[in-house]
Amino acid sequence: MRKIYFLSLVLTFGFINLNVRAQIFDTAAYKPILPLYRDVIGDTTVISNKNMPQQMQFEKGQYIFPPKPKNKWEVSLNAGDLIVSGDVGAKGGLGFGLEVRKSLGYAVSIKGQVLHGTTKGQNWQANSGLANNPVLTSAHPATNYYGNGGLFFYNYKTNIDEINFQAVLTINNIGYHKVARERKVNLYAGIGGGAMIYLTKMDALDANNNRYDFVSIPLANYPDRKTTLAALKSMMDGTYETSGEGQGDQPKFFERVTKPVVTGSIGIGFHLSRKFQLAFSEKISIVNDDLLDGQRWQEHPFSDPVLTGNFDTYHYLSASLGYFIGGNKRVEPLYWQNPNDYTYDAIQTLIKKNVDDLVDTDDDGVVNRLDQEPESAPGAIVNTHGVTQDSDKDGVTDTNDKDPYSPIGAKVDGDGIPTDADKDGVPDYKDKEANTNPIGLVDVNGKTITGGGSGAGGYWWLPMIFYDLDKDYIKPEMFERMKYIATVMKMYPELKITAIGHTDIRASNKYNEDLSLRRVNNAKKHLSEVYGIDASRIVTKSTGEIDNLIKNLPDGYNEKFEGQQYYNRRVEFRIYDSKTDK
């Protein structure tokens, strides 16, 4: 019943505390906690001298982690129920102790405890396996229950003194997903060891130092636990005058039985203030001893009983009040702090503070703080300052300009395309006969070619396009030349052209033959796919490296000749000649 009462108290207190916190904490009303950090990270007044070099590096951005701050010791007084778990029914008792705890980090701390307590037990069923218990046989005539009826109701009063040390893990601080000052509950578990000293005594004699007449309590008259214990209580005087097995008759304190112990504990702490903690814990002590309750013999066989199978342990269910001492008044034990408070608070503060600086109202990729034109048209092409681009300065923005790179000063139409008043395929800005109607074909300068026409063959000039070393794709700077060729072919639907691919002399003949073929095929594909020219109007040929414009260049890299090699990497275009271009 005592354990149930303590557990109910712990759960009730925790439930009330958590509900109160939930009602008063409004997560939407975010307020930065800097420089507080339950509140120490970033506060140099709580950094120890040995950690100041790291703090200085952190402040200068030379080290990404702040140093571990100072933290307080916790000193607590505790009291609670001390219970032996053994062969005799436990009644429980009172224990009290002193604890000192110090954080090693945010999750692990060390704790030392001194415990003193007294606990009792009483069996309600008689024991008959007394033959090997020297206290209850002829070795002690006054308490020779074995030779006088053979029954004894085991009972005990045990004084326990213990000192132990534990490593304690703060369980709910491992996840680090809650602001430290909003976390009022601390779950922890510990493991460790120490030493204990105990004295067990039994109530075996009445006030006149005579044995009790346990034989007179037949089970027929007292068939259950309650009535039997009541009968025993009325019979026994409760003086516990007889030392248990393994103990001296009247041992001094350090003559009592001493044993090493292994301890384990679980607990829950409640943060009352910056100085106080209320905690409830359960500690178990495992002892290599079966005589804490004065009994270690089984019932059968009656004449030569054997030892019981399990050693005794004892439990201490307690409440404690801790006080934080030492260090700066702002410091608390690290197990009540969260190192990520500083990091996440800094991030959140920057987000809240600079949210306007990160807004891009016109969605042009330039935030408002840097945008010199914060209301650009949707989809506008802008520069790094957010200003709508007009690359060729023709008054038509790049977003709407179908030819955004026409020459500066060229006259253009509403779509940004250079005008061609006489429709001869040569833009007005370069047409030297811009006001004449085309007669037959014209050259690249817009001048009429006499004798031109679809049969002009090699007399009519079309531009070449050039390639980078080992490349077969058309470079952007060649697009205007391809557009010119396509414009001519659209003006004269009956016109066929011949495209011839070339390479420089480097690499093998076989490689260059393939490269020149890929170049001319890509040029044909560009005219067909980009401008809609019927592919059958383009006859392709490839010569590899055998027909260079600039001959006798070295077969290898030489920076001096790279400019000349460039002119050999080309595709030529000319009017189709049915005699030579079959």
**316 and 458 fall within a common domain:** no
**120 and 256 fall within a common domain:** yes
Q: Give the tokens for residue 19.
A: 């509900």
Nearest CA-CA partner of 315 in 350, 346, 284: 284
CATH label of the domain that carries residue 20: 2.40.160.20
443 half-sphere exposure, CB direction, 13 A CA radius: 11
DSSP assignment, residue 477?
Answer: G
CA-to-CA distance for 74 and 100, rounded, in angstroms?
Answer: 6
Domain boundary among 336, 368, 392: 336
Give domain status of residue 362, yes or no: no
CB atoms within 10 A of CB 291: 22
Domain boundary among 306, 336, 366: 336
Backbone phi and psi for residue 55, each to the nearest 5 degrees, phi listed first? -60, -40
Backbone phi and psi for residue 493, each to the nearest 5 degrees, phi listed first? -60, -20
Backbone phi and psi for residue 396, each to the nearest 5 degrees, phi listed first? -110, 120
CB atoms within 10 A of CB 45: 11
**170 and 299 fall within a common domain:** yes
Nearest CA-CA partner of 234 in 248, 213, 219: 213
Q: What residue type is assigned to position 403 of the chain? A: D
Cis amide bond preceding 39, omega within 30: yes
Give me the pLDDT at residue 31, please: 42
Give me the pLDDT at residue 502, please: 95
HEC sequence for 308-326? CCCCCEEEEEEEEEEEEEC
Give domain status of residue 375, yes or no: no
State the sign of the Cα–Cα–Cα–Cα dihedral 394, 395, 398, 402.
negative
Q: What's the order of all strands across the beta sheet hosting 497-501?
A: 465-466, 570-575, 497-501, 538-542
Give domain status of residue 476, yes or no: yes
CB atoms within 10 A of CB 503: 30
Give domain status of residue 377, yes or no: no
pLDDT digits 0-9 by tens, 451-504: 333 333 334 568 999 999 999 999 999 999 999 999 989 988 888 999 999 999
Give me the pLDDT at residue 398, please: 75
Give me the pLDDT at residue 140, please: 92
Contact, 444 vs 463, CB < 8 A?
A: yes
Q: What is the pTM of this model?
A: 0.57
Give domain status of residue 404, yes or no: no
Give me the pLDDT at residue 344, please: 76
Give domain status of residue 410, yes or no: no
Give me the pLDDT at residue 35, please: 36
Burial annotation 417-444 (CB, 10 A radius, 16+ → b, else e): bbebebebbbbbbebebbeeebeebbbb
Q: In sequence order, what E strands does 443-552 have?
A: 448-449, 465-466, 497-501, 538-542
Contact, 242 vs 157, CB < 8 A?
A: no
CA-to-CA distance for 123 and 152, rounded, in angstroms?
Answer: 9
Q: What residue type is assigned to position 66 of the chain? A: P
**331 and 462 fall within a common domain:** no
pLDDT digits 0-9 by tens, 326-340: 877 777 888 888 877
Q: Structural domain of residue 311, as residue ranges?
A: 2-30+70-336
The helix, strand and coil proportions of the chain, stated in percent and rounded to the nearest 5, come to: 25, 25, 50
Inter-axis angle of helices 509-531 and 479-491, nearest 10: 60
Give domain status of residue 560, yes or no: yes
Secondary structure of residue 331 in the 3-state scheme:
coil
**102 and 241 fall within a common domain:** yes
Token pair 């218990």 in the structure block, residue: 133
List, for the chain, all residue ranges whose pLDDT scores fall below the cut of 50: 1-41, 437-440, 442-444, 449-459
Give me the pLDDT at residue 516, please: 94
Q: What residue type is assigned to position 155 of the chain? A: N
DSSP assignment, residue 247?
Answer: S
DSSP string, 269-312: EEE-SSSEEEEEEEEEEEES-S-TTS--B-S-SSSSPPBPSS--
**124 and 273 fall within a common domain:** yes
Give me the pLDDT at residue 277, please: 95
Token pair 């300068």 in the structure block, residue: 445
Domain count within the chain: 2
* Radius of gyration in angstroms for the set of CA atoms belonging to the chain, rounded to a whole number: 50
CA-to-CA distance for 302 and 299, rounded, in angstroms?
Answer: 6
Give domain status of residue 527, yes or no: yes
Burial class (CB within 10 angstroms; exposed 0-12, middle 13-18, buried 19+) of 367: middle
Domain boundary among 336, 367, 394: 336
From residue 352, give the alpha-carbon distance in Å to each of 26, 32, 355, 359, 379: 17, 9, 6, 12, 29
Strand partners of residue 242: 202
DSSP string, 198-232: EEEEE--B-TTS-B--GGG--TTT--SHHHHHHHH
Q: What residue type is assigned to position 240 of the chain? A: Y
Helices and strands of the chain, counted as H and E runs:
7, 15
Q: Give the tokens for residue 574.
A: 């000319």
Give me the pLDDT at residue 397, please: 79
CA-to-CA distance for 236 and 242, rounded, in angstroms?
Answer: 13
Backbone phi and psi for residue 242, each to the nearest 5 degrees, phi listed first? -105, 125
**332 and 458 fall within a common domain:** no
CATH label of the domain that carries residue 504: 3.30.1330.60
Q: Give the tokens for residue 508.
A: 């093998």
Nearest CA-CA partner of 112 in 166, 181, 46, 168: 166
Give me the pLDDT at residue 24, please: 33
**458 and 332 fall within a common domain:** no
